[in-house]
Amino acid sequence: LGLERRNQIAAATMRSALRVSQRAHRLRPQSAPGAPASVAEAARGALAAAVSSRAYHAPLREMNFLLYDVHNFEGHYKGLNEEVLTPCDRETVDMVVDATKTMCEDVLAPLNEGGDRVGSVWKDPNTVVTAPGFKDAYKMYAENGWQALSFPEQYGGQGLPMSLALVQSEMIAAANWTWLMFPGLSKGAINTIIAHGSEDLKDEWLPSLISGEMTGTMCLTEPQCGSDLGQVTTKAVPIDGAEGEYSISGTKIFISCGEHDMTDNIVHCVLARLPDAPAGTAGISLFLVPQRLKTGG
């Protein structure tokens, strides 16, 4: 980069840092007369102010500078193989960014307060109700086709570049990280099935995941494992007379978005062992386990 462009990047970075610093300063307890008498009261007051005033304002000026002046998205997209990806010009990029800005500022960021004050509620072993507004926001997100943005048209996606979907995800993450976890975990499941699933599994499950009709998760670790997945003990036993189908038994923990009310079905990517599997990570297999079978089971 030339000196002038480096200075522009540095100035954009400094502006972002200054905004963060100013926000942090406003949340500090004041020492003026009438301030809370104790540190605990001051902390509670600061938290209440942060929750009630939380907002997101998309930094479009800085984003456009990075997209077009620094990384030349427009020129890069012109060179992509249009037989693989849907053509993506500057008008398309601007449309996605502008629409995501509106969604983040007007819909997702305001949901943070309910997420903090109410959160998800466990009703019974099979029912978790997400924070106020989360379900409606997800319905809008799915109906507008955002989950399908960068996935193959063959399975109902829009076929746009993954880098454009990452720009959108960055904005949503800044506006409401908790809400992003739900479609974000689904993208991980979708990518896993695309990379490793059989053609039958892809045809059966990808369209519903990509449309947002279903969500996905990754069921990896267990109480005794921590980060050492070589200790996984969940079992996968072949079902007699049902080729390619298995009975899964075991206990999983830390399943982000593993139960919720946003969709009627959740597709879990589960690590388990076949009966003759060797010890350690070499003996782990990956299985697609829907919360509910399509046959109604």
Q: How far apart are CA 54 and CA 47, in angstroms?
A: 10
pLDDT greater than 70 at residue 211? yes
For residue range 31-75, what is the model confidence (pLDDT) as tens digits?
444 544 566 665 566 555 554 446 899 999 999 999 999 999 999
For residue range 110-161, what is the model confidence (pLDDT) as tens digits?
999 999 999 999 999 889 999 999 999 999 999 999 999 999 999 999 999 9
* Mutual angle of helices 177-196 and 134-143, in 10-degree steps: 50
Q: Distances in Å between the alpha carbon of 168 and those of 99, 119, 183, 232?
A: 10, 24, 12, 35
Average pLDDT over residues 275-285: 95
* Mutual angle of helices 199-211 and 177-196, in 10-degree steps: 160
Comparing 295 with 66, the larger pLDDT belongs to 66
H helical segments located in 54-117: 60-64, 73-78, 90-103, 111-117
Tell me the pTM.
Answer: 0.79
Residue 106 exposure: Cα atoms within 13 Å on the Cβ side: 8
CB–CB of 220/252 below 8 Å? yes
Specify the range with the lowest mean pLDDT, choosing from 11-25, 51-65, 189-203, 251-265: 11-25
63: number of Cβ within 10 Å: 16
Give the DSSP letter of residue 29.
Answer: P
